[in-house]
A and B are shown apart, each in its own frame.
Chain A
Amino acid sequence: ETGVTQTPRHLVMGMTNKKSLKCEQHLGHNAMYWYKQSAKKPLELMFVYSLEERVENNSVPSRFSPECPNSSHLFLHLHTLQPEDSALYLCASTLGEGAVYGYTFGSGTRLTVV
């Protein structure tokens, strides 16, 4: 366990479903991130929350909707996804800018859209 917990570990959903991914950390970090990892591609930053405020949205389609109710929890709400959205979704957290202490990643949620 890295200190960042993601649930569920695996998720299969239909294109018309609505589901949510959850990320939780109790490391005292104040910034949280969603990354998408697709096969043969670099990890893509999706969203950044700093002090519970969204500070970055990397042109992500609106079918992905993040929520950060407090500094320990981060959600990614999913609806009407496409098969190409199948990927490993990784959550990370940092203390401050992350350069000094590094980024702590969770184990990810493996999402399959059918």
Chain B
Amino acid sequence: AQKVTQAQTEISVVEKEDVTLDCVYETRDTTYYLFWYKQPPSGELVFLIRRNSFDEQNEISGRYSWNFQKSTSSFNFTITASQVVDSAVYFCALRPNILTGGGNKLTFGTGTQLKVEL
């Protein structure tokens, strides 16, 4: 069974602070994919990043960075120097290896509401 846990329901920070959103996952697959999505108030989920389970190199994209730790089954997301426009709900998701019968489906966490205030 697949499971994604985002223990932080809501985080409030002041603009320019750094913030880390936690994601812990469970899977029996040895090969899988992890995703982060952003859901602004408009509703659509915006794709941020995809990570293969066999690639543990951390990634940085502008103010965003991701820390993948396979040993602790975590895929945390850090926003550096947060801005008001970063306010949204952020979802972590897991997709199994289709070769083990997992299909196309994503398993989502419950999301973390990030509020960035002036």
Chain A residues in contact with chain B, CB under 8 A? 2, 4, 9, 31, 33, 40-43, 45, 48, 50, 55-56, 58, 88, 90, 92, 94, 97-100, 102-108, 110
Contact = CB atoms under 8 A, between A and B. Distances in A.
B4 A88 contact: no
Given A99-B98, A107-B44, 17 more contacts: A2-B46, A42-B107, A42-B108, A42-B109, A42-B111, A56-B103, A92-B45, A94-B104, A97-B98, A98-B106, A102-B35, A103-B45, A103-B106, A105-B45, A105-B46, A108-B43, A108-B44
Contacts of A108: 43-44
A94 B111 CA distance: 22
B50 interface: yes
12 contacts: A42-B4, A45-B106, A48-B103, A56-B105, A90-B45, A98-B106, A99-B98, A102-B35, A105-B37, A105-B45, A105-B46, A107-B43
